[in-house]
Amino acid sequence: MSGVARLYVTQGLHAGASIALLNDREVVIGGDGEAGLVLVDAGVKPHHATVRLQGDRLVLRTVSDSVVVFAHTLGAGRKTLLRHGASFRIGEAALLFSNGAQMTDRDAERAELAWLFTHAPLAWLRRRCARVPRYGRVVLMFAPFALASLFVMDLLTPPTPVAQSSLLEKPAFRNVRVGTDQTTGTRLYEGYVQTPADLGALALEARAQGVAANVRVAVIDNMQEQLSDFLDLYYRGAQLSAADPGTFIATPPASAGYLQAESWDYARIARLAQSQVEGLKALRFAGHENEAGPVRVPMEALGLNLVSSPHTAWLADRQGVRYFAGARVAIGRIQRIGRCNATVIRDDGSIYDLITRTDEGKSC
């Protein structure tokens, strides 16, 4: 980046305003007067969303309501990663992210295509096809008929049978299982291969068997890349390695590299990863495999301090706002406040134990 990263308001009541972004510093966007970027446009909630600069990318997290990214709605409680030139809408306001480099129309187009490719492949395909010249569209129009003709000719030509064992004996396919799809009766290939090239070779080999085939095989290299991007939302500098096929082991960084309160909730992150990365069997965290009970989270990760008097105790944020037992904080409702910890119940029922530290840096 050649300059200061900024978030610009390009449409709405505050059009022309902007805010500088500091690396790993979260900024709240909303209509509340204490938000880092205050927007009073229609449809903007008090704490609508947050943004955080991560290198040259922007992590956008919706809080109390949805955000529209490139005409696609991102529901409340979701996160996404945006590139330089990306834009999004919060209520009636539109915002544009710059990582500090000079902004061009090409940057905006690249940011949109990159986001659509990851989150809305069909929309990405439509955009790419729209850029094809007219003569190219004519070719594409007749391509399906040509392919259909080739398919009919292929059906009329008896295939040369190949022994099934020759497919499974290849080292690249040692983690692939062959069975029968109970719904369609077609041959079913399931499991894992290491690279996209291996998957292409498997598809060709399966077709050469002479019967219809359904290939449901995940690529380990692709899974590791997707999982690494996912972990970047929670940790700075986490190490990721493959274990058994479909299983990965993450080694978290020191606590200074934990980016969110949820970063300490390893079981929750593992569940979210399985919903985000197709084919993922399990994500394990080195040194945290058998942890049970409440999730221990340092209070400073939430920007809170524990304050006590002879008669009561409460939590206070950086603005001095007090939170007593029964109040809500960012991750849930405070159940109790003790001498050096507080118990918070999330909306999903999970329990977080917010701990404070003594002057010597040790937990109470």
Rounded Cα gap, residues 277 and 219, in angstroms: 11
Same domain flag for 20 and 95: yes
pLDDT confidence bin for 1, thresholds 50/70/90: very low
Average pLDDT of 161-170? Answer: 55
Q: Please state the pTM of the whole predicted model.
A: 0.52
The domain that contains 76 carries what CATH number?
Answer: 2.60.200.20
Same domain flag for 256 and 341: no
> How many domains does the chain contain in total?
4
Same domain flag for 11 and 98: yes
Looking at per-residue confidence, does 212 or 90 come out higher? Answer: 90
Per residue in 51-85, pLDDT tens?
999 888 999 999 988 899 998 988 888 899 999 99
pLDDT at position 361:
47
Q: Final residue of a domain: which of 119, 137, 165?
A: 119
Same domain flag for 272 and 233: yes
HSE toward the beta carbon, residue 142, CA cutoff 13 A: 5
| Measured CA angle at 159 (ends 153, 164), to 5 deg | 145
pLDDT confidence bin for 161, thresholds 50/70/90: very low
Same domain flag for 103 and 22: yes
Secondary structure of residue 249 in the 3-state scheme: strand
Q: Which long-range contacts (CB under 8 A, 24 or more apart) does 23-26 make?
A: 23/53, 23/54, 23/55, 24/52, 24/53, 24/54, 24/236, 24/259, 25/52, 25/53, 26/50, 26/51, 26/52
Rounded Cα gap, residues 126 and 110, in angstroms: 15
The domain that contains 161 carries what CATH number?
Answer: 3.30.1340.30
pLDDT confidence bin for 160, thresholds 50/70/90: very low
Domain contains 127: no
DSSP 32: S
Domain contains 124: no
- Encoded tokens for 306: 């524990």
pLDDT confidence bin for 119, thresholds 50/70/90: confident
Domain contains 82: yes
- Encoded tokens for 242: 């493959």
Q: Would you put residue 215 in left (φ > 0), alpha (ψ -120 to 50) or beta?
A: beta
Q: Is 65 exposed, middle or buried (0-12, 13-18, 19+ CB in 10 A)?
A: middle
Same domain flag for 273 and 342: no
pLDDT at position 240:
92
Per residue in 11-56, pLDDT tens?
888 888 889 999 889 999 998 888 899 999 989 999 999 999 988 8
pLDDT above 90 for 302: no
Same domain flag for 228 and 174: no
Domain enclosing residue 160, as ranges: 155-218
Q: Final residue of a domain: which of 285, 304, 326?
A: 285
Taking residue 356's Cβ as centre, other Cβ atoms within 10 Å add up to 18
Same domain flag for 333 and 232: no
pLDDT confidence bin for 345, thresholds 50/70/90: very high
pLDDT above 70 for 215: yes
74-78, 138-142, 185-189, 283-287: least confident range? 138-142
Domain contains 92: yes
27-36, 100-109, 145-154, 319-328: least confident range? 145-154
Rounded Cα gap, residues 74 and 9, in angstroms: 19
pLDDT above 60 for 138: no
pLDDT at position 140:
54
Same domain flag for 14 and 108: yes
Same domain flag for 12 and 112: yes
Q: Quick one: which of 152, 150, 154, 132 has its CA closest to 141?
A: 132
Same domain flag for 171 and 72: no
Average pLDDT of 203-230? Answer: 82
Q: Final residue of a domain: which of 71, 97, 119?
A: 119
Domain contains 144: no
Secondary structure of residue 149 in the 3-state scheme: helix
Same domain flag for 196 and 226: no
pLDDT above 70 for 142: no
pLDDT confidence bin for 185, thresholds 50/70/90: confident
Domain contains 143: no
pLDDT at position 322:
92
